[in-house]
Structure 1
Amino acid sequence: MNNVKTITTNDEYTQEVSATGPVAELRGVSKNYDDVQAVKNIDLSIAPGEFLSFLGPSGCGKTTALRMLAGFETPSEGTVLIDSKDVSGFEAYQRPVNMVFQSYALFPHLTVGQNIAYGLKQQRPKLARGVIADKVQRVLETVRLNEFQDRRIWEMSGGQQQRVALARAIVNEPKLLLLDEPLAALDRKLRKEMQIELQDLQRQLGITFVLVTHDQEEALSLSDRICVMRAGEIVQVGTPRDLYDHPQSRYVADFVGTSNFFEGQITTVEGKTGRISLADGETYDAVCSEVMSVGEAACVSIRPEQVRMSSAQAAGSLNVTIQNRIFLGEHTEYLVRHAQLGNIAVMTPRQSDNSLDALQKGDTAWIHWNPDAALILKNT
């Protein structure tokens, strides 16, 4: 048989699988807790070696979806497949899956090496001590903790503990590594560093990573694809660039990045370009994210970095008043107010216009944007 390999994780999970198919699938999966439907009819295919993130607010169903992949929850409806095999009824330990929890769930009474070796010692048939020691040493080198094998967990920093948790998960060479907000407890600087390390580690190992997070920046920086969820449903799946540049709804545009929204009504539609009348009585051309109809209520979405601001008036620009100004080193964030359109966020790079440096709260400025930088979205 072509493109076939054997995956063996324990006595109850050995099969031949296609190396070219999805590593995991959720088919029509729903999860109910009494009268509450936490996940609603999800269909999702996860490719081998990809880094996929579930992104959404608390209570949207992302962790429940992850736990159904892990085997900690059983679907009320639908099927969970790993390597084309239905594992819906399998326990967590029967699946070729490991999970890194937000709390790390490390054993405080064991050393770093003993924590990592714990899962290996549970395998049947038993592994030889030399094999276990060799695997532990290799994974310690992978996460750059080879000098900490005999340290106690409580002697490690937060970032080091996170690496131990990752090492314990990857030492078993799972098909899927599931991460439930593993960076949430770290400070901002360390979280940035660990995001880079996590991405490098995933590329080095080639293991499929599935991350749950409510942090849009984390999802954008780490993921090959992002699955945006809302009220138990998947609203859009795409690459970070697709979701940022081409959101299909106001909800996605608002959750993935920051955006300005101006409500109005469609006046004309020509192909993918629409014209919308806004609260200032003017009409603006913009790209339609979906098929829109004349007379339909909609909104215009414009990213703050797409808004151009100047201290001098130009043709077609809007007069605004500076409400707030925050200098952040590489760029400056402004909150400006237009008499009819309301508050508008503007982000200017440091070298954009030196004349803007003199602007303070209460000063007048002028803004404009290119039509292809604006999106017309449904108000959902």
Structure 2
Amino acid sequence: MENGGYVGEVEPAGKKPIAELRGVTKRFGEVLAASDLNLSIAEGEFLSFLGPSGCGKTTALRMLAGFETPTEGDVLLDGKVVNTLEAHHRPVNMVFQQYALFPHMTVAQNIGYGLRQIRPRIPKAEISERVSKALDVVQLAGFEDRKIWEMSGGQQQRVALARAIINEPKLLLLDEPMAALDRKLRKEMQIELQDLQRQLGITFVLVTHDQEEALSMSDRICIMRDGRIVQIGSPQELYDRPNSRYVADFVGTSNFFNGKLQRSTDGLSEVLLDNGMRIQGMPGDGLVDGQEVCVSVRPEQMKLRRQGKGLEVEVHNRIFLGEHTEYLVTHETLGDFLVLAPRQADLSEGAFAVRDKALVSWETSAALILDRN
């Protein structure tokens, strides 16, 4: 679907939208933080906003939460415009990057804090029961009386999650909640978050700059750049069919060879590279002859051999990563690029050493011709 200059599944088919952005723009003085955002978030979906710092993803999240008001356009929750509805009146909760927990309170007091602010007051027994259930959900039963400063980073994140879900929000917003965790714990928490989302059936919206985090957790990913949505799709769609070099470079790793698009033949197109070589590949949508483009080839789709057909290269660097080996190779015309060899290929072909000569090849279908911008 084409919308506002980008391609993607703006409205997930067959699913009821729980939240929507309709032509939403946000300005802070002269700064354009978000521009003409159009997005429908489905009930029960796990959606991620992915992009570098300053791309507008956190601004979009804060407008959904009610911490910012759109300059133009509408934010809808359950089909109702909520532009002027205050954050604490929305069926939304947010988990912040620094968790925003109260260090002087116990775990139970932190989790039950929001319930204690509700008027008319909720009976203490009911609050205690709901806190206990929330602790069970995040696997922290028995930690009720612990102080926050006595908890590890992963445990503090669970406390923040328990505090966020105790009100049973329709939308749970996560603002880079795993940024402060080490790699191993981050992996564990990614799995726990997915399990929690499936268990509760709450719609999750995650903001992250970590592509691996977005790819591993999301039903759909919304790629942002300079305040705009540039592509929306499932992790596999974005990885296999990016609509520009920007998306291909942000989602996964790729080799890029710049050139100009030539005429198409038999469903394929040819690119005359800046270095004079010609490469055939699969053209993206909306490209025209003569346009400046790039050819994108993922390192894992390249094959490294000692015999047969292919480009003659020399191994410049080799990094063994267990399940695969990353080779930096040099071609006299294309220059340096990466090849990723699976463990099985290294075992059958024999691992290459630095300064070894080799042959590199790839299928034509693996070469994607993309807008260079």
Contact 1:325–1:335 (CA under 8 A) maintained in structure 2:
yes
Residue aligning to 1:101 = 96
Query: Which amino acid in the other structure matches residue 372 of structure 2?
Result: N
SS of residue matched to 1:172: coil
Query: How many angstroms does 1:279 deviate by?
Result: 4.3
Residue aligning to 2:4 = none
SS of residue matched to 1:44: strand
Residue aligning to 1:170 = 165
User: What are the Cα deviations for residues 111-147 of structure 1, in whole angstroms up to 9, with x where unaligned?
Assistant: 1111111111112232122211111111111110002
Name structure 2 gaps, 5 residues minimum: 1-13
Match of 2:365 among 354, 368, 372: 372
Contact 1:120–1:172 (CA under 8 A) maintained in structure 2:
yes
Bigger Cα displacement from structure 2, 210-219 vs 332-341: 332-341
Match of 2:28 among 21, 27, 33: 33
SS of residue matched to 2:112: helix
Match of 1:54 among 49, 55, 63: 49
Alignment of 1:217-236 (within 5 A): 217-236=212-231
Contact 2:106–2:148 (CA under 8 A) maintained in structure 1:
yes
Match of 2:254 among 245, 256, 259: 259
Distance (whole Å) between structure 1 residues aligned to residue 187 and residue 63 of structure 2: 28
Query: How many angstroms does 1:292 deviate by?
Result: 2.5
Query: Which amino acid in the other structure matches residue 345 of structure 2?
Result: S
SS of residue matched to 1:114: helix
Distance (whole Å) between structure 2 residues aligned to residue 20 and residue 224 of structure 1: 13
Query: How many angstroms does 1:355 deviate by?
Result: 6.3
Query: How many angstroms does 1:41 deviate by?
Result: 1.0
1:124 to 2:156 alignment = no
Query: Which amino acid in the other structure matches residue 69 of structure 2?
Result: T
1:325 to 2:318 alignment = yes
Distance (whole Å) between structure 2 residues aligned to residue 20 and residue 328 of structure 1: 41
Query: Which amino acid in the other structure matches residue 164 of structure 1?
Result: V
Residue aligning to 1:68 = 63
Distance (whole Å) between structure 1 residues aligned to residue 349 and residue 158 of structure 2: 44
Over 3 Å counting, the alpha-carbon distance change for 1:133 and 1:271 in structure 2 is farther
Query: Which amino acid in the other structure matches residue 333 of structure 1?
Result: E
Query: Which amino acid in the other structure matches residue 375 of structure 1?
Result: L
After TM superposition, the runs of 4+ consecutive aligned structure 1 residues lying more than 4 A away are 355-358
Over 3 Å counting, the alpha-carbon distance change for 1:148 and 1:272 in structure 2 is farther
Residue aligning to 2:11 = none
Alignment of 1:1-380 (within 5 A): 21-270=16-265, 272-279=267-274, 281-312=276-307, 314-315=308-309, 317-354=310-347, 357-380=350-373
SS of residue matched to 2:238: helix
Query: How many angstroms does 1:280 deviate by?
Result: 5.1
Bigger Cα displacement from structure 2, 177-186 vs 320-329: 320-329
Contact 1:308–1:369 (CA under 8 A) maintained in structure 2:
yes
TM-score for the superposition, normalised by structure 1: 0.92
**How many correspondences in the alignment?**
360
Contact 1:279–1:340 (CA under 8 A) maintained in structure 2:
no
SS of residue matched to 2:196: helix
Distance (whole Å) between structure 1 residues aligned to residue 291 and residue 275 of structure 2: 18
Contact 2:260–2:274 (CA under 8 A) maintained in structure 1:
no
Query: How many angstroms does 1:359 deviate by?
Result: 2.1
Distance (whole Å) between structure 2 residues aligned to residue 86 and residue 262 of structure 1: 46
Distance (whole Å) between structure 1 residues aligned to residue 53 and residue 214 of structure 2: 15
Contact 1:24–1:83 (CA under 8 A) maintained in structure 2:
yes
